[in-house]
């Protein structure tokens, strides 16, 4: 394995989850547990219980909605485009327990309307859980973003989940159910070009951690899902050309980050993300456990065995060492050499 491929794997950008090894999860990044069917403690059955899932047009949300429908849950699938292909596929290929909702988590009116619809159509055991899955991903050097780019990332990934949580917590609390938040390894792992995304996910985890403590006395359990690189299994990756990025930069930043580097960085990022896991079932299995196990984990870290070794040690390492990991990357050194180049 060459150094560039090794670095891509060790920072979690391209975990190889097709090596036949059992998936392992981490609670609080400390305790390793096999997530195999025999280890699950599933005592919650779907009949009579409802689950709201945001971001069901595609990806994790879409697949989870189908899985829970098959398990007998009443599913409220929040979709940004309720008339789009993803939503209509759910409607066409699911049971009568599948309910499609128009839900843009950045809009108060959408969340309020969704709350009204859900509350008016709850089964006998009420709203068991909310899965805050809706999210967006974009990569960029810090200076390539505008303040609106940061605001948009936070509005969806962070405030969208907070807005949805506040609206539906009374219903979940009444059933002593579950709140699930889809985060990322980048919530705790700082990485080149992932500043805006990391900011939004780190904030999301801080919110979920505080909520977990507050909800404990009400019998509500809160879990955080931390996927590694599942880019090919979802539609979250935003595709851009080097030209699009370059034309967005002002003259000063074009001199700093020359066109050759912009193209190199864009190609590297896109190709690395697309070498991730194409199978979303590992994440869906963890979500289902968080919803149905009698004692769900607080965190589900979903990476390969190689990456697990790295992330297990990462929180305990001095900052000077964690930063030094990037110095081993050929991409980091190319970047350093190309800055200010004409």
Supply the residues annotated as catalytic.
197
φ, ψ for residue 17, nearest 5 deg: -105, 20
136 — phi, psi (to 5°)?
A: -130, 160
Contact 76/99 with Cβ under 8 angstroms? yes
Q: How many residues does the chain have?
A: 342
Report helix, strand or coil for 181.
Answer: strand
Burial state string for 78-91 with b = 16 or more CB within 10 A and e = fewer than 16: bbbebeeebbeebe
Query: What count of other Cβ atoms lies within 10 Å of the Cβ of residue 178?
Result: 22
Closest among 334, 341, 329, 340 to 9, alpha carbons compared: 329
- The contacts of residue 166 (CB under 8 Å, 6+ apart) are none
Query: Is the sign of the CA dihedral 196, 197, 201, 202 positive or negative?
Result: negative
């Amino acid at each position: 394995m060459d150094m560039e491929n090794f670095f891509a794997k060790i920072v979690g950008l391209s975990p190889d989850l097709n090596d036949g090894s059992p998936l392992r999860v981490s609670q609080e990044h400390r305790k390793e547990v096999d997530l195999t069917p025999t280890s699950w403690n599933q005592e919650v059955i779907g009949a009579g219980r409802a689950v709201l899932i945001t971001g069901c047009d595609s990806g994790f949300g879409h697949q989870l909605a189908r899985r829970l429908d098959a398990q007998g849950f009443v599913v409220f699938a929040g979709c940004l485009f309720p008339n789009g292909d993803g939503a209509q596929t759910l409607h066409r290929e699911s049971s009568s327990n599948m309910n499609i909702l128009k839900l843009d988590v950045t809009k108060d009116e959408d969340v309020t309307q969704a709350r009204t619809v859900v509350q008016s159509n709850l089964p006998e055991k009420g709203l068991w859980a909310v899965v805050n899955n809706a999210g967006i991903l974009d990569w960029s050097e810090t200076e390539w973003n505008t303040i609106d780019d940061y605001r948009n990332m936070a509005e969806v990934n962070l405030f969208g989940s907070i807005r949805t949580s506040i609206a539906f917590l009374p219903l979940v609390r009444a059933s002593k159910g579950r709140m699930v938040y889809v985060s990322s390894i980048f919530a705790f792992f700082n990485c080149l070009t992932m500043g805006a995304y990391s900011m939004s996910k780190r904030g999301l985890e801080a919110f979920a951690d505080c909520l977990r403590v507050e909800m404990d006395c009400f019998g509500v359990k809160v879990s955080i899902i931390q996927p590694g690189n599942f880019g090919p299994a979802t539609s979250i990756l935003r595709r851009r050309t080097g030209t699009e990025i370059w034309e967005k930069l002002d003259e000063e930043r074009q001199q700093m980050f020359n066109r050759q580097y912009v193209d190199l960085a864009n190609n590297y990022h896109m190709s690395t993300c697309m070498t991730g896991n194409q199978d979303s079932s590992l994440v869906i299995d963890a979500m289902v456990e968080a919803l149905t196990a009698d004692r769900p984990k607080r965190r589900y870290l979903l990476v390969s065995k190689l990456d697990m070794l790295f992330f297990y040690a990462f929180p305990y390492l001095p900052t000077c060492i964690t930063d030094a990991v990037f110095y081993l990357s050929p991409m980091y050194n190319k970047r350093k050499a190309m800055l200010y180049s004409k």
